[in-house]
Amino acid sequence: MAKELSPQEAIERAQRALDDRLTSVRELAESRQKLADVREASAARIAEVEREEREKVAAAERDDARAYSATIDAGWTPAELRKIGFAEAGKKRAPRQRAARKSSSSEAAATPPADAADNGGESQSYGD
């Protein structure tokens, strides 16, 4: 026959079970706090790195504008520089666009050329 638990033994067992449960909750709370702290620190560091990189880009853009201006002062024209392949300073290169699709022949036939629409007010006759 099983021995009956004394009230004291029952309380001790219950206390151990509660202690284990409380320990797990404490560990979870500490882990969550650490996670929040790491996220906050990471966000601050990311913002700092982004700011530093924006400053680097701005400095490089200023240097480029100075170099472009010096090239113009040396006698080059913006048109000549464009022909060589240099956009004006401070202007970002537009991404290459894909070639436009060719319109179907029915669309081209339905739309008269611009110069055909303006015939100086004279009507044109086709075989009249």
Query: What digits encode the pLDDT tens for the residues 47-100?
Result: 999 999 999 999 999 999 999 999 999 999 999 999 999 999 876 655 556 666
* Radius of gyration in angstroms for the set of CA atoms belonging to the chain, rounded to a whole number: 39
Question: pLDDT by residue (tens digit) across 106-125?
Answer: 555 555 555 544 454 445 55
Two structure tokens written together for 72 = 């113009």
Residue 61, both tokens: 């853009």
Distances (CA, A) of 48 to 53, 54, 55: 9, 10, 11
Dihedral angle computed from the Cα positions of residues 56, 61, 66 and 72, in that order, rounded to the nearest 10 degrees:
160
Query: pTM (2 decimals)?
Result: 0.51
Cβ within 8 Å of residue 5, ≥6 positions away: 13
Residue 14 identity: A
